[in-house]
Amino acid sequence: MRELRQVAAQRGHQLPSDASVKRRIASWENGHSTPDVFYGPLLCDAFGTSAVELGLRRGESKDVALLDAAYPASPDDAIRTVGQLWRADLNRYDPLLTAEPSEPAWNEASLRWLVAPEPGIPRPRTEGVRVGLGDVAAVKTTTDVFAQLDDQFGGDHARHSVIQYLNNDVAPLLRGRYTEQGDIVNTCG
C-alpha cells in the first residue's frame, strides 16, 4: 500500500484512508471487482508492469457493453441489467459515472415503455430467498427514508448508501422466490 500511495503522490493524487484502500484491494483480490481507470495505472506503476500483464484488460468489453444497455426485453433482463449497473456504480466505474445521458437511449426507452406489450411477470423461481410482505414493507420504508434525505439534503448526500442498499438488499429480493400467480410469498405466518 505504501508503494501505491507513493505512485499516487507522484501523479498528484491523494488516496483515501488506509481502511478504504484495504477494502478496495480485498475486493480485487477476492474477485468482486477489478481496478478501475484510476487505480489500474497506479498499480501498473507500483508494480512496474503493464495492464495486460496484471490482467486488467480482460473486463473492458464487459464494461463497454454496460454503457450500451438497452431497454430490457423481459423483467429478468431488467433485473440482470440493474444489478450490473449497481455493481459498476459501487466499483466506481468512471465511464459510467461520468457519461452524459444518451438522448437516443432516452427516446428508445420512452417509446418502448409507451408502446411495448405489457411485460409478463417474471417466471416463478425455485431458488433464492423467499420474498414476503415484510420484505416489501422494508423496501418501501427504506426508500421513503432515502427520499426524505434527498428532499432535505440533496440527491448526492446518500447516493452511495442508496446504491449499496439496492445492490446488497434489493437485488437478492428481485431474484427471490414467490408464488406462481406473482403474489409475494408471505413468510410472516
pLDDT per residue over 80-122, tens digit each? 888 888 888 887 777 777 777 777 777 777 787 788 776 666 5
User: What pLDDT is recorded for position 189?
Assistant: 41
pTM, rounded to two decimals: 0.55
Share of the chain above pLDDT 90, in %: 5
User: What pLDDT is recorded for position 123?
Assistant: 62
Q: Which among 30, 58, 53 has a CA at the least distance from the CA of 43? A: 53
SS3 150: helix
Quick check: 141 pLDDT over 80?
Answer: yes
CB 16 within 8 A of CB 4: no
- The enclosing H or E element of 110 equals helix 103-115
Q: How far is CA 156 from CA 25, 40, 66, 98, 140, in A?
A: 25, 26, 22, 14, 20
Q: Which among 108, 100, 126, 144 has a CA at the least distance from the CA of 185? A: 126
